Structure 1
């Protein structure tokens, strides 16, 4: 009985003062870290984070429904999150798109200019494929890398490529 009372007390406890004073930028960093730390978040998923007055909004696309639910659960557990709006879309299941994703990953991360990214825990280039249309998101070191990734994504079977890569410089 005592454990139940403690568990309920912890569940109903107010937000700690430190979490309440957390800036939106710091909270966004915590959310991003939680998402990057999710083992099933990969290069074929893309999520953007918005935070305003500790209200978190998640946008983006993931390849499987369980990822949407798992990411939502992870973010809700972060101290300082007052509310969460989950606008993450689940990409339609498609053997064609799945095959394109694999070929695109090989074309981009197999290129000598991008191999160093492939060995990272969270590679920076995300390849979102929906109905044969590709969107590249994430960050690269230079405009040359941005243009090269766009060029490498132009493989047979791809209907269009939208390059939303950002550069560090």
Structure 2
């Protein structure tokens, strides 16, 4: 038995010592070459790579924030890289914050139009010094990712902060969403808002609590939307955050 154990140990030791060099730890120079190969694309032509102790540092510039984000992901996925310091600058055009915000608000409101989830996304957009902060709520992860991707691919965006809350899966909330949609948009006084594919009245539901976001033409329309939402079976409460055109936002 002891003789067998010695032979077994010797065999294992021989196998370990004969592991191909390809599986040995790569040097920083080799890792740098691997990262550069992963970034071999025209959108990363202005990116420079350095590696020290397995950590990659990305510098240089790109035209879109999306390119900066993708460079980070590609470098992170290179085998042997233990961390990534992304110091890439977005050198696209400088767009005034107000102009960029108006453009993005419109784009995000139209994003995913044609999908049944559109009226249930209430995603906010803020811009300061080219840094875009996304907040609010998304019906699901696909809707949230779509909004983020749209912003990242917009010229003038220097950075993106994703603070979107994704609603957890809930058959009960889904039923309330559909019922609230029918109650609000099916009401004769509010049916005119269904003409806009971007659906200006957004319906957020969480644990049976409904919040209405968006904009309407009059205070009467806002009040009617809130009343209609309260008639839906299973709704615990309604928070009416609808904004009346040309008036400051006010809860009711």
TM-score (norm 1): 0.89
Counterpart position of 2:96: 23
> CA–CA distance in 2 between the matches of 1:166 and 1:5?
45
C-alpha RMSD of matched pairs (Å): 1.8
Counterpart secondary structure, 1:43: helix
TM-score (norm 2): 0.61
> CA–CA distance in 2 between the matches of 1:99 and 1:76?
33
Q: Contact between 2:121 and 2:139, CA under 8 Å: does it hold in 1?
A: yes
Q: Contact between 1:46 and 1:126, CA under 8 Å: does it hold in 2?
A: yes
Q: How does 1:27-66 map to 2 (within 5 A)?
A: 27-39=100-112, 40=115, 42-66=118-142
Aligned length: 163
> CA–CA distance in 2 between the matches of 1:119 and 1:93?
28
Counterpart position of 1:144: 220
> CA–CA distance in 1 between the matches of 2:193 and 2:118?
13
Confirm whether residue 87 of structure 1 aligns to residue 160 of structure 2: no
Cα distance, 1:24–1:127 mapped onto 2, change above 3 Å: same
Shift of 1:156: 1.9
Shift of 1:5: 6.3
Divergent runs of 4+, >4 A:
4-7
Q: Contact between 2:110 and 2:197, CA under 8 Å: does it hold in 1?
A: no
Kindly name which structure, 1 or 2, has the bigger radius of gyration based on alpha carbons. Answer: 2
Structure with more relative contact order (C-alpha pairs < 8 Å, separation 6 or more): 1
